[in-house]
């Protein structure tokens, strides 16, 4: 802990108002979500011997996105030795980029190993949480109607959990089978079927090559082509696995090498988009190597700077598009009928099934929950005019003892999000320890600190490729502002979250 944390500044005048005697909350901490971030939080609480916590999970198992996305070909596009907790290396990853089932198994293993599964309440969806200013704790209400109190709330619900469906005229009239990539129908038999896929994002480029050989015909409806580069995937050898197991330092070195390789991408993404030109040339050559038909090449070649949208990796995607039974349709969809889709040029293409690879509702890190702060205001209301903002993506002014994991501007377009999660969890743990050590009732980030932080952040983001690269992506909000991504190297974020800075917070002492 830094010097600031051990010598908090004087409380603000407003914080000195008289309150009723404190009544203890049922839990010290309530964590929302049992995906990568919520699980990490639970493990660190347990390791710090804080046992008074509960994890609410709306589904029936750990895993978040890795539990929900079951489509064929689903795998991570960040190397697994980095896309895993630093405190729980797995020497047994089967590939550089592990498939979904392995990642899900890894998370379940972590839950069991660290004894946090017993703190989890499954099928328990949080509907709302409101800060009780008399008792200085949160009232967390579940969808079932049950209310639980907790001194601290940590939300780790992830940004990509609610499927987004396109608003297409007639969509409800379709008589065939239709489902979203994140709600995959494993019982659907693709053999001999005509399938329409809408979307060409990170999910579609994984499942299209997996189903293309099985279907009779596949129409891929593309609105914007993604940049797709070769994926340096391979099996991990028995020698590597043995080395990693018996000489853990070698796995650390391997992880470090991956970290710096991935981190170097920031130079083009956020430092100077012109640096992307070389990578773009490489990506164009890759398209040319995989696709011989000039018409198809033109269709799949983006007209925006590489990196503006997430850079995708696949060795199977472009070859799948060259198959005789696959057509890439770039004319916009006009409507959906009972038997298929009609494009703007009036052509109707029949389909037995429509698969929506159309991504997620990326609104804010609160999802459908209602979070009410100290002034009785909902968090969404405070974000209405400015767009969503937090300090370090973790603390929101006016919401004492409330912390976000993967909050505003802490997403990444270039490397492992698990690195950010660990940095945030470390920060929140220090905040919790500060609360306990100084017998504080609450910590609330100062509004001017949050405002200054976001002004600087947005200035940096204006010049980055996500805003300047000439594309439209879910990284930008309705005001055209990037409220999603961290604008720099992840080690900068790590350095900024290494020590909890109590002087940036207003706080209130416990009485008696």
**Contact positions toward ligand NAP, by CB under 6 A?**
76-78, 160, 166, 181, 198-204, 221, 223-224, 310, 357-360, 474
Least distance CB 205 / ligand NAP (angstroms): 7
Q: Is the dihedral of CA 98, 100, 101, 105 positive or negative?
A: positive
Least distance CB 102 / ligand NAP (angstroms): 13
C-alpha distances in angstroms, 394 versus 388, 389, 398, 406? 12, 9, 13, 8
Nearer to ligand NAP, 272 or 348 (CB): 348
Least distance CB 19 / ligand NAP (angstroms): 43
Nearer to ligand NAP, 73 or 111 (CB): 73
Burial of 388 (0-12, 13-18, 19+ CB in 10 A): buried
Nearer to ligand NAP, 18 or 234 (CB): 234
Distance CA 212, CA 194 (A): 10
Nearer to ligand NAP, 76 or 262 (CB): 76
Select the residue whose beta carbon is closest to ligand NAP and give its number.
Answer: 201
Nearer to ligand NAP, 147 or 224 (CB): 224
Nearer to ligand NAP, 63 or 201 (CB): 201
Distance CA 343, CA 91 (A): 49
Nearer to ligand NAP, 412 or 429 (CB): 412
Least distance CB 181 / ligand NAP (angstroms): 6
Nearer to ligand NAP, 91 or 158 (CB): 158
Question: Which two three-digit tokens encode residue 89?
Answer: 């290396």
C-alpha distances in angstroms, 352 versus 176, 291, 292? 5, 28, 30
Least distance CB 373 / ligand NAP (angstroms): 29
CA atoms within 13 A on the CB side of 362: 20
Q: Within 10 Å of residue 225's Cβ, how many Cβ atoms?
A: 18
Query: What φ, ψ does residue 318 adopt, rounded to 5°?
Result: -60, -45
Least distance CB 406 / ligand NAP (angstroms): 11
Distance CA 101, CA 8 (A): 46
Nearer to ligand NAP, 268 or 411 (CB): 411
Least distance CB 160 / ligand NAP (angstroms): 5
Spacing of C-alpha 227 from chain mean position? 20
Least distance CB 16 / ligand NAP (angstroms): 45
DSSP letter string, 334-378: EEE-SSEEEETTS-EEE-SEEEE---B--S-TTTT-EEE-TTS-B
Q: Within 10 Å of residue 315's Cβ, how many Cβ atoms?
A: 15
Are 178 and 200 in contact by the 8 Å Cβ rule? The answer is: no
Least distance CB 106 / ligand NAP (angstroms): 14
Least distance CB 456 / ligand NAP (angstroms): 25
E strand or H helix at 195: strand 194-198
Nearer to ligand NAP, 150 or 418 (CB): 418
In the chain, DSSP finds a helix count (H) and a strand count (E) of 16, 20
Question: Which two three-digit tokens encode residue 141?
Answer: 């209400």
Question: Which two three-digit tokens encode residue 69?
Answer: 């996305």
Distance CA 199, CA 222 (A): 6
């Amino acid at each position: 802990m830094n010097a600031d944390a051990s010598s908090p500044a004087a409380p603000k005048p407003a914080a000195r108002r008289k309150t009723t005697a404190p009544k203890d909350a049922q839990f010290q901490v309530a964590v929302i979500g049992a995906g990568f971030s919520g699980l990490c939080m639970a493990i660190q609480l347990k390791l710090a011997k804080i046992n008074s916590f509960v994890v609410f999970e709306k589904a029936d198992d750990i895993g978040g996105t890795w539990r929900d996305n079951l489509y064929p070909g689903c795998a991570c596009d960040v190397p697994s030795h980095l896309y895993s907790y630093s405190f729980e290396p797995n020497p047994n990853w089967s590939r550089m980029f592990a498939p979904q089932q392995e990642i899900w198994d890894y998370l379940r293993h972590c839950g069991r190993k660290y004894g946090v599964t017993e703190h989890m309440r499954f099928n328990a969806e949080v509907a709302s949480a409101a800060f009780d200013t008399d008792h200085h704790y949160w009232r967390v209400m579940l969808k079932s109607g049950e209310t639980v109190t907790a001194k601290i709330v940590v939300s780790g619900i992830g940004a990509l959990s609610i499927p987004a469906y396109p608003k297409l005229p007639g969509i409800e009239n379709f008589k065939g089978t239709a489902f979203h990539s994140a709600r995959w129908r494993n019982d659907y038999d693709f053999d001999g079927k005509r399938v329409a896929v809408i979307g060409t994002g990170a999910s579609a480029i994984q499942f299209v090559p997996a189903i293309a050989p099985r279907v009779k015909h596949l129409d891929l409806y593309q609105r914007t082509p993604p940049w797709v580069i070769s994926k340096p995937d391979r099996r991990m050898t028995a020698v590597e696995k043995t080395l990693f197991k018996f000489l853990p330092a070698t796995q650390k070195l391997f992880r470090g090498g991956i970290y710096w390789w991935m981190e170097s991408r920031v130079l083009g993404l956020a430092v100077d988009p012109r640096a992307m030109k070389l990578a773009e040339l490489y990506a164009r050559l890759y398209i040319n190597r995989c696709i011989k038909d000039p018409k198809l090449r033109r269709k799949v070649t983006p007209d925006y700077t590489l990196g503006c949208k997430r850079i995708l990796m696949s060795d199977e995607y472009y070859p799948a598009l060259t198959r005789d039974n696959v057509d890439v349709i770039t004319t916009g969809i006009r409507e959906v009928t009972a038997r298929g889709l009609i494009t703007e040029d009036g052509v109707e293409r029949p389909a037995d099934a429509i698969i929506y690879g159309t991504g997620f509702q990326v609104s804010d890190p609160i999802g459908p929950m209602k979070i009410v702060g100290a002034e009785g205001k909902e968090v969404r209301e405070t974000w209405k005019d400015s767009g969503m903002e937090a300090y370090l993506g973790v603390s929101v002014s006016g919401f004492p003892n409330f912390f976000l994991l993967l909050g505003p501007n802490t997403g990444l377009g270039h490397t492992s999000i698990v690195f950010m999660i660990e940095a945030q969890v470390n920060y929140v743990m220090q905040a919790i320890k500060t609360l306990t050590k100084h017998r504080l009732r609450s910590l609330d980030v100062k509004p001017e600190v949050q405002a200054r932080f976001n002004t600087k952040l947005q200035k940096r983001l204006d010049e980055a490729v996500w805003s300047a690269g000439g594309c439209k992506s879910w990284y930008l909000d309705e005001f055209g502002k990037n409220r999603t991504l961290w604008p720099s190297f992840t080690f900068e974020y790590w350095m900024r979250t290494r020590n909890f800075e109590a002087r940036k917070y207003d706080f209130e002492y416990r009485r008696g």
